[in-house]
Structures are given as structure tokens and as C-alpha cells.
Amino acid sequence: MPSFRLAISDSSSRDSRSLQARIADYRRVLEDNVLEHGTAQDAASHSRWRALWICASQHTVSYLQAHLAAGRGEPSKAQLSPGALLSPGIGTFAQLAEALLVQADQRILPLSSLERRWVLGQLAKQALAEKKLVYFAPIAASTGFATQVEGLIVDLKRRDIWPEQFTKAARSVRERELGLLYARYQEHLIEHNLYDAEGRFWAAREALTNNANLATGLQLIHVDGFGDFTTAQHDILKLLTARCDSTHISLPLDSAASVQSPGDQSSRNDLFAKPLRTLALLRANLGQPEVDGTDHQTQNNTWETREHLLTNLFRDYAAVKPPSKQAIAGLRHIEIVAASSEQQEVEAIATRVKRLLQTGVLPADIVVCFRSLGDVSDRLRSVFADFSIPVQLETRRSLATAPAVRRLVLLLSLHTQDWAYRDLLRVIGDSGIVLTPQAVDKGADTFPKLRRTLERLIRSAQLPRGKRALLEQLSAWAKHEQAEEIAAGIVEPESSPTEQAVAVLRSLAELLETLPNRATPEQWIESCEALAQALGILQGKSGEDRAQSDWETLVAGLERLGNSWRRFDLLNAKVVKPEATKPADSTGWSLADFLSAVQYVASQSQRQETSSGDSGVLTTSAENVRHLHPRHLFLGGLGERSFPAPGQSDSLLSVGELDRLAASGRATSNAEQQHSSDEMLLFYQLVTRPAESLTLSYPALDAKAQPLEPSPYLADLRRAFGESEVPTTTLPLGSLADGEDATAPLSRSGGRRHAVSALLEGKPRPLVQLSGTSRGKRCGESILAALEMINSRSRREQFGMWEGLYTSDASKRQFAEQFGAQHFWSPSQLESYAACGFRFAGEHALKLEPLPELTLETDVRHRGSLLHEALATVHEQMLNAPSETLRVEIVERFIEVLEQIAASQQIYGLPGALREIQRRELANWGENLAGQTDNYQRMWNDFDVPPRPTHFEVRFGPGSRHADEQLESQLSSSEAYELVIPTAAGGSETIRFTGQIDRLDVGRIEGQEVFNVIDYKSSKSQKVDLSKLSAGTQLQLPIYALAAEELLMRESKALAWEAGYWSVQGAGFGKATAKGKHTPQLKMREEVDGNLEVTATWLQAKSQLVERITELIAGIRQADFPVFNDNKDCTKFCSLSTICRIAQIRSLDKQWPPPEESKIEETASTEGSGDAR
């Protein structure tokens, strides 16, 4: 007669007498089977049907197999073979179901979760196309909807609700549409002989029901670690129990009394609500069990504190029993840690784990768990590596994070989107994609300079997308560069960087063109593997040693998806009308289809992670630990929002609706109460698991240092001990997890912190010890350099090497040579240095420049260039135009010239569109420009010949190879303007200047030829400011005036009359009065009693000019490039704002130039430091 026994022992440790007795019983059955069949080999094929041990987790399976293999328990009667011990007789419920289907010779195939979600997604899209979905129409095509439907079907199958039953009981449109999807999904499974994870139990139940010879001869069944069962699992247990001599089921219950008297309030029925419901169903199916009783005693009986928790946690406060002296003494084995942040919490856990390992505790005896590892896994991985703790991290990253997969998706997206700007930049910037075929075999890209060239060219082209247009644009630039070199006399010019870049992009284009337009999944996989091999994706970069494994995972997922696609395609073919024909190319996947498949598999699959092996500290989620029995348990993340975990809020149907749809039609407990009960039971099982120590932790502050409440379960745990205090450690904000005064740091970062702390106290020994190894030496040097830097930056009275002053002799020699006597200076260079030395060093000395960005904004420099070219051309054409027609003609000519310039420049894509916008914007300025010109002509009533535009784009000094010689005035000269300045030694030096003057207007007064220097500005207001001239930020016009008078116009002996800015959007050169006068910006000469005299302003300006230029050049040659700018808004427009520290400089109120004695002191303190700056 079959017997059913109930063991209330789920909360016991692995060393409990009851558990050891069950293992011994199981072993005896296996041994008897060996004796019966004569040999272990013969017995192996029968043992799985003599004894079964059904476990709730794979961890328990592994533990039992190890116990049996080690021969623990009573002495063996016979030698057990590995086949007898590691047979399916020990496994999870899912493994049992699989074994039953194999034994029954059921020819059905498993459907993975990945395939199930895909199939549901296709079914939803099909129903949507047939207009069968109304309520869910807005979201039916989304991946999230398929995931929600999957969750609903899982719940329905666990409750044994069949599609027919669901459809019949459906009341609303929402329920009927869900019933339709459920029914079609089940039809798909039946059509193709498939079963899903839940359906496997249905199939196993059916096999047992229909096959009386299946699983016969069973002597013993153990069912261990479960809190509840699905309906199908209940039925399987009923069928197996009827065929077995003895069935033992363990449940997490309070006591034997709770089994006999479930209404007893002292038995914590709210905590054990789920197992009590399970017990009621077991009674109904299997009859009244024989109860073994509560097993809370361990063999060594060393920790009564745990036993007190077992009987008092979550009990009403009035019913809590006072702890014994031994239980109170054992509280030292429990610790609650309140950390100031998530990072500090993980470090505190790592600190305590490390100390246990140092005392000889094995890593396998320690378990670290969180309610969920999702948000904390990367932090755990990083911190445990810092503490050199071996770890088994039971969490896997999404396959979408795998570098090889990301690169394939990127390349396919690039091809699909016709080389979209962002995608192309990502491809070019990823050194894991080897763009040069000759570098593939080396496993690394050997052309980083070529990548930089490619990025610069792509950014400069400013094309949102378009492979063909991009290659044409870059080819045109390459031809232009080649033509320039030939014009410069280079007979056989070498391949330019642009030509090399074009060759690389063409090679990439050819590789992508090998991809088919439409193909089967297998053909797509083959083509993409060839592409990945050609671009070095499967080799992986340094530190990416799982590229091949990731690729195999992706291929396996695509193959499964391909199988599902074929099945789904065949199913659809049966409903296609006979007269309907498919296009010839409709078979297979398109490129877009395959890209979607890759992205889907990547998002739904996980990487095969590597770990420290079985010897590492197990780090997992709380759900997995409820079936373990560690010696030491660390339960982290016990914040109010984490434990209990939030209930499911995205379910398509409520628990009440599911209950109504169930076969029984009866209502069960409230969903919120049920969830609360489940969370309480999980916490109860966790804290009563460890045999020796329990550490509970939570972050007490969030990222903004705002208080966070702990889990309410911690209060329940404290309440279980009455007035006895549970040891609690509060870690203050900013404190170290391993102690401020730690003399033996436990982590590498802790060692560094300790070395710095000791050094600041005048104890250099820890830093010396840290620097004792080759790796530590570099670290020690970095620490010393950082301390020196912080000390230097914090000194308010001076600037140093960390604020832009290059102090080494080598640096000074380098800059003195770079900007020496042979250097050609431009006024804008000196203005830049005067405004900000740091920016000058970046842009002019180090040649840093911002990368062009794809933006829908007008480029001010391009607009200015177009304006200068148009104005020069217009005035050149109208030199002899009569004054009375000038106002009308200038508008017409200006618009006409702008159109001619735009037509002559072949610019594609966004740059071309923006240039057209610029042209139209400038065309609108024509009328204003005509009025300014008319106003300008009325300023010179006292002149014999009013100044007229005469020379445009007048260059002095060597020209640029990229300059347009056709625009340059014949007055231009390759001779530089030379300015003599004094030297510090009392001598003099000639400084050479180069520049290009926008416009020179020549006139005559008192018989003397004079000229005006004009500089165009597109702003609305720009005036000469003598204070800026003195500061050095407005040197351009004075230098241009001197260069024009002393160099460019020396043959005509023309004299400088005025200089000023022409504000195109403002008042032009200024406003003329009714008497033909105006307020000059910078006046060099004036008419006094029929003679031309130099103005006092010009005399002062020239004196200040020489003095300031002397100071600026001396500063540059001394390598003084301070981070200092008087403009408080400088960071809003400076391209180097992200790398300068002007905010810190201003916070310390530092001034440049500093007091002379402070500068001398700083120079002396850094002399001989060996700094290469």
C-alpha cells in the first residue's frame, strides 16, 4: 500500500539528522538495486525508476549528487557506479518531466522561451493584420506585448487553464482577444509537435496517464524544497505516488501542530499561507500524510540563535518567546550593516567576506545574495575583483552587450541605413572593427591615425546619410589635394591621407555589398560570419576573450528562430488562397528582417559568463538561496523598496480574473496578501539558512544623500529577540568600509587609500611598500604626482604647472624654438593668447581643434568666408560705378554674386543645404548693405576724393596653400610686415607678421593720398576699444594699418587715415551726420590747418601696441599658458571648455599675472623636477 509522509524540515541546515537520514534511505535503494542486478552497469539502467529525488533547484541536485558520490551516510553495501548516482533519478521537476517524455518515447520537441516570445509576436502581428485585435491594437506589434502575453500564458498553464476554458469564460473584448492569441499559440504547438516549459508538465502528465507501465516499480520518492506546485505537477505527484511504495514530501511549515490545526493563529498562517494551501491540495490528492515533525536541530547544535528565529520570526509580538541565554549570546553571529551608499554596502560585504577567507573559511561556505542582482551585479563584480575574492556570480549579461554582437548589429544597421552619420562614426571609432585587411591577421588595428583622418573627413562632409554621396565628396577632396601638390611642383605625389581614407571606405562598402538582399537564416549566418571574419570581429580586442563564445550563442539563437520561422511560414501557407502567389524574392529574410532577428536574439539571450569556478564565493539572487544551506550568508540590498520586492503590476490579467477563469471558479486569497506572504516566507527561509553567521545590509542614503528606509523585515527580525539588541553597524558618509585605521588593507583600493592617509600623517612606509612591485611602483608614482598636483592647485597666490605654466627647461626650449625669430605671427594669434593663454596653447601650439558635428546650425566661419568672397567680388566689379546708381546696383550684384559662388561649389547633403540657407540669409542683408554703403559715402565731405573701395583681400606675408589666389588683391605681398620690439637684454628684435586685410579704401585730402582699413564683421555691433587694444585683445586693426602704410602702400606713400569694423548687420562703418561727419573708431590722422597730423590716440596706441606685443611674445616663449580669462562666459563658446579648470581657478580667486615673487618661488620649487611639460 503506497504511503505518503510529510516532513516539516525545509528550514533545516544541510547537516540535519532528517536530511542525512533521507540521503541514507535513497542510497540504500540504489545499493539494493545494484545487488539485485548483479553489476552496477546493469543497475544503472533501472535505478532511475527505483528511486526519485525531485529537487526545487539545480543547486540542491548538485549537492545531493556530491553527497552520494562522496559516500556520506551509512556504509555502502555495494559499489555504486557514476551512472547509478548521477542518473535522472536526482533532478528538478522539469528534468523529471523530460525523462518521462523520453521514456514514453514522445516525439515532441521543446520550444524555448526565445522561440515562444517570437512565435507570440508573429501571432499578434498576424491577428492585427486580420483586424482581430482592437483593444490591443496600439501595442500588439511591440516586443513588450509578446513578453506580457507569454507571462500570462505561463500563469494560465500553471493554473491548468486550457485555451478552450479561457475562451469560454472570457467576458470582455480584452479577455476574448487574449483568448484568441492563447488558442492560436496552443494550435501552433500541437500542429508542430512542440511543447513549452509549462506544457512539458502537461505532456508528462498525459504520458503517465496513458501509459500504465511508465515509472513502475518505484520504491522511494523524495520531493524536497518546494513551497507549492502547479496543477500539472500535483497530478504527476498523484500518479507517481500511486506507483511508489513510499513518497516523502517536505514543506516549509511552522510545526506539526500547524499541520494538525491550520486555524491556530499562533502558528503564523500568514507566513506559511502558500505551503498550507499546498498541503490542503496534497491532502485532497494523496490523503492524510504521516507527519515526521519539525526538524530544527543540527548535529553540532552550536547556534541556538537560529533556532530562536525559526520559531519566532514574524510571530505576533505578544506570542514571541523570550530568547534563551544561549540565543542572546549567539546574536554576535548576526550583524546588520547600515551603509551610506550602495557602493559602500558592497565594499562592506566584501570586507567581511575577505576577513572570513583570511581565517581559513572556504569560499564555497560563503553565499552573498541580493533580492535581485540586476542593478548590483556590475558593482559586485568590480568590488570583489578589487578585493581579490574568487566569485561565482550567478547573473548573466544580455548578449546585446557582447562586443562581437554589438559590432555586427552596427555594421548591419550601417548597411541598412545607407551609412547613417552616427553609425558610420561608431564603426570608424571602434578599433575592434579592423578596417584594414592587412591588419586582420594581427588581431589589432595598426592604423589609428587613419581612423582619425576618416573621422575628420566624415564629420567635415556633414552628410546625414548616403554612401554614394560621401564617397563622391571625399573623392573630390582627394583629387583637389592631388591637383594642389602637382601645382606645387610635386611630379609624383604620394597617396594623400584622404585618398587612403577613401580606399578604406570603398573596401568596407565592397564587404557590405557581399551581403545578400534576401536569404535563408542559414545563408545569412554564413554571410555574416564571413563579414565578421574579414573585419576581425571574431578575434576580439584585448580583454575580449569571449568573442567566439558570444558568436556561437548568437548563431544558436538565430538557428532556433529560423526553425520557428519555417514552422510559422508553413502554417501560414496552409491558409493562403490557392490563387494567391508570392513574389519570386519573397522567400527568406530580407536584410531588415535579419537585423531584427539579430537584435531580438541578442536582447532575449544571455552571454556565457566565466567565473572563478565552484571554489568561488557564490553570489546570486535571493530566490536561489532559499534552497541552500551556507555556513555564512550575506543578504544585501535590504532597502524598503527592494525587500519585499514590488508586486507584479504589468500583468495583462489580475489574480482575481485568473481565479474566475480557473476551472474551479473559486476565488483565492487577495493578490497583495499572497505576494506579501511569499516575500515574508522568502525572507524567513533566507535568514534561517546559515549555520554560523548572518550579515544583513542596506544603503541608508541614496545618491543625493537623502535617507532611505530599511526593509520592514529588519524590524520584524529585531522584534523576534524582544529587548535584546541585534548588533548593528552604521557606516558614516565618506568612511571606509574596511576602517579608517586599517593597518592591513583588504583591497587594492584600500591599500592606496591607506598609503595616502599614512603619508599625509608623515608615515611614508605604506607607500614605499605599495611601490615595491613593478605594478605598485607606477601606482605609487601616480599617487605622489596627484598629491603634488592638489597641493599646487590649492595655492591661491600663484599659478603653476597645473594651471598652464610649462616649467621644465625642455618645454621652454621647445616653445622658444617653435615661436622663435623665424616664426610668422598673425594678429589673431596674439589676441588669442592675450584673451586666454590656455586656449592659445591648445589651438596654436598643440594644434587642437574641435571635431565638426552634424548640426542644423549655420557655421559662422563658413558664412563669414562666403560674405568676404561676395563683398570682394561685388566691390571689384563696381570700382568705377557712378555713385548715383551704386545703391541699386550693389543689391543686385550682391545677390547675383552669391548665386554664382553657390553654383560653383559642389557641396552635398547637409553642408550643401546649410550653405544654401547661408546664401539666402546673406542675400537678405543686401538691402542693409546698400544703405550702409550710401551712408559711408556721405562721411567724407571734406575730402578732395572720398575714400572708395579699392583693394580687397590684401595679403601680406607668405600665403596659405589653401588660399584662393583669384580673390587676392594685386596689392598683396609675400613679404611679411616687420615690427621692431625691445628685448629683455636691452637690444631689439624684429617680429614678422602675416595677415589678410578685408578691404582698403583709398581717397585724397589736402593733396595727400590716404586710406581706411576696414574689417568686416557679421555681428550687429563691433567697435574699436582702446582698453582692449591695451590688453592685447584688439591688435588686428592697428597692425593692419601699420602693415598697409609701411609695406603695402609704401610706393604710393599713402597714409593711414582711419581703421574700423564694418558691422554688416548693424550700422556698417558708422553713422554719418547731416554735415557729413561721423565718429571715428580708430583715427590715425587728422587735418589741422591744411596739414595732416598724427593723432594723439594713434601715438598712444602704437606705443601700447609695441609694449603689449613684447609682453605677449615673451610669455609665449617662456611657455606661460595660464588658465585665465577675464570673460566670465568664456566656457559657453570655447572649444576647450571641457578640459580646462577655469572654474577652480576662479573659486580660488587667482589672478594673472600673479605677484612677481610668487611666480619666482613657483619656478624655483619646480626646477629640476624632471617634468616634461
Position 965 scores a pLDDT of 56
The highest-confidence range among 260-274, 301-315, 738-752, 1033-1047, by mean pLDDT, is 1033-1047
Q: Are strands 290-294 and 334-339 parallel, antiparallel or unpaired?
A: unpaired
The yes-or-no verdict on residue 540 having pLDDT over 80 is no
| 3-state secondary structure at position 520 | coil
Q: Are strands 728-730 and 824-825 parallel, antiparallel or unpaired?
A: unpaired
Query: End-to-end CA distance of the chain, in Å?
Result: 91
200 within domain boundaries: no
Going by pLDDT thresholds of 50, 70 and 90, the confidence category of residue 1155 is low
Which of 199, 264, 267 lies closest to 233, judged by CA? 199
Separation of CA 950 from chain center: 59
Interval 188-205 mean pLDDT? 85
The yes-or-no verdict on residue 949 having pLDDT over 70 is yes
414 within domain boundaries: yes
Dist CA 44 CA 485 (whole Å) = 84
Please tell me whether residues 293 and 326 are part of one structural domain.
Answer: no
| 3-state secondary structure at position 40 | helix
1004 within domain boundaries: yes
The yes-or-no verdict on residue 88 having pLDDT over 70 is no
pLDDT, one tens digit per residue, over 338-360 is: 999 999 999 999 999 999 999 99
Position 1133 scores a pLDDT of 82
pLDDT, one tens digit per residue, over 651-680 is: 777 766 766 666 544 444 455 667 788 888
Position 870 scores a pLDDT of 77
Which has the minimum average pLDDT: 44-48, 508-512, 1127-1131?
Answer: 44-48
Q: Higher pLDDT residue, 985 or 1057?
A: 1057
- Residue 73 DSSP class: S
Interval 670-693 mean pLDDT? 83
Position 561 scores a pLDDT of 84
Interval 452-466 mean pLDDT? 87
199 within domain boundaries: no
Please tell me whether residues 427 and 566 are part of one structural domain.
Answer: yes
Which of 310, 269, 336, 330 lies closest to 720, judged by CA? 310
Please tell me whether residues 114 and 183 are part of one structural domain.
Answer: yes
Please tell me whether residues 551 and 406 are part of one structural domain.
Answer: yes
Please tell me whether residues 864 and 829 are part of one structural domain.
Answer: no
Dist CA 136 CA 116 (whole Å) = 19
Indicate the residue among 885, 909, 928 that finishes a domain: 928
| 3-state secondary structure at position 1128 | coil
Please tell me whether residues 664 and 771 are part of one structural domain.
Answer: no
Averaged pLDDT score across all residues of the chain: 80
Please tell me whether residues 102 and 243 are part of one structural domain.
Answer: yes
User: Which amino acid makes up residue 301?
Assistant: N
Buried b (16+ CB within 10 A) or exposed e, 883-898: eeebeeebbebbbbbb
- Residue 372 DSSP class: -
Please tell me whether residues 142 and 176 are part of one structural domain.
Answer: yes
Which of 244, 240, 187 lies closest to 209, judged by CA? 240
Going by pLDDT thresholds of 50, 70 and 90, the confidence category of residue 81 is very low
Please tell me whether residues 817 and 888 are part of one structural domain.
Answer: no
Q: Higher pLDDT residue, 480 or 916?
A: 480
Interval 1123-1145 mean pLDDT? 86
Residues 6+ apart with CB under 8 A from 287: 4
pLDDT, one tens digit per residue, over 386-439 is: 999 998 887 777 888 889 999 999 999 999 999 999 999 999 988 888 887 554
Q: Give the domain extent around 188.
A: 110-192
Q: Work out the burial of residue 825: count CB atoms within 10 Å of its CB; fewer than 13 is exposed, 13-18 middle, 19 or more buried.
A: buried
| 3-state secondary structure at position 937 | helix
Instruction: For residue 935, count other CB atoms closer than 10 A to its CB.
Output: 16
Please tell me whether residues 1014 and 889 are part of one structural domain.
Answer: no
209 within domain boundaries: no
Position 852 scores a pLDDT of 74
**Domain of residue 386, CATH code:** 3.40.50.300
734 within domain boundaries: no
Position 358 scores a pLDDT of 92
Whether the Cβ atoms of residue 278 and residue 289 lie closer than 8 Å to each other: no
723 within domain boundaries: yes
62 within domain boundaries: yes
The yes-or-no verdict on residue 573 having pLDDT over 60 is no
Q: Higher pLDDT residue, 696 or 1164?
A: 696
Please tell me whether residues 1074 and 964 are part of one structural domain.
Answer: yes
Please tell me whether residues 431 and 564 are part of one structural domain.
Answer: yes
Position 1012 scores a pLDDT of 96
Indicate the residue among 192, 224, 244 that finishes a domain: 192
Position 580 scores a pLDDT of 36
Position 84 scores a pLDDT of 44
Q: Is the peptide bond before 1153 cis (omega within 30 degrees of 0)?
A: yes
pLDDT, one tens digit per residue, over 1037-1089 is: 999 999 999 999 999 999 999 999 988 888 888 887 767 678 889 999 999 98
The yes-or-no verdict on residue 318 having pLDDT over 50 is yes
Position 883 scores a pLDDT of 57
The yes-or-no verdict on residue 260 having pLDDT over 70 is no
Q: Higher pLDDT residue, 678 or 37?
A: 678
The yes-or-no verdict on residue 35 having pLDDT over 70 is no
pLDDT, one tens digit per residue, over 202-259 is: 888 988 998 888 888 888 888 988 888 988 899 999 999 988 888 888 888 876 445 5
Going by pLDDT thresholds of 50, 70 and 90, the confidence category of residue 361 is very high
Q: Domain total for the chain?
A: 8
